């Protein structure tokens, strides 16, 4: 299986980046600085990054 996801710089970066993207999308939507469709797109992208980082590749195709 290889290394756990949190020991891979690429996968760890994908998870951390995905979480950051989701937080930015949520904050922007709540504050009104981002439109809801843009925030939803960012949330989906962030979620896809998190799932990729955790090694759930099939989930990426399910989101599209």
Q: What is the pLDDT of residues 17-59, one digit of tens each?
A: 999 999 999 999 999 999 999 999 999 999 999 988 888 765 5
Mean pLDDT of the chain: 86
Report yes or no: 33 and 39 within 8 Å, Cβ to Cβ. no
Instruction: For residue range 3-21, list pLDDT tens digits in order.
Output: 787 888 989 999 999 999 9
pLDDT at position 63? 55
Task: Please say whether the beta carbons of 29 and 36 come within 8 A.
Answer: yes
Q: Which of 26, 1, 40 has its CA nearest to residue 55?
A: 1
For the chain, give the percent of residues with pLDDT over 70.
Answer: 84
């Amino acid at each position: 299986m290889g290394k756990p996801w949190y020991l891979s710089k690429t996968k760890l970066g994908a998870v951390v980046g995905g979480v950051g993207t989701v937080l930015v999308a949520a904050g922007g939507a709540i504050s009104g600085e981002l439109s809801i469709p843009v925030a939803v797109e960012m949330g989906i992208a962030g979620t896809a990054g998190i799932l990729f980082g955790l090694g759930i590749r099939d989930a990426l195709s399910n989101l599209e």
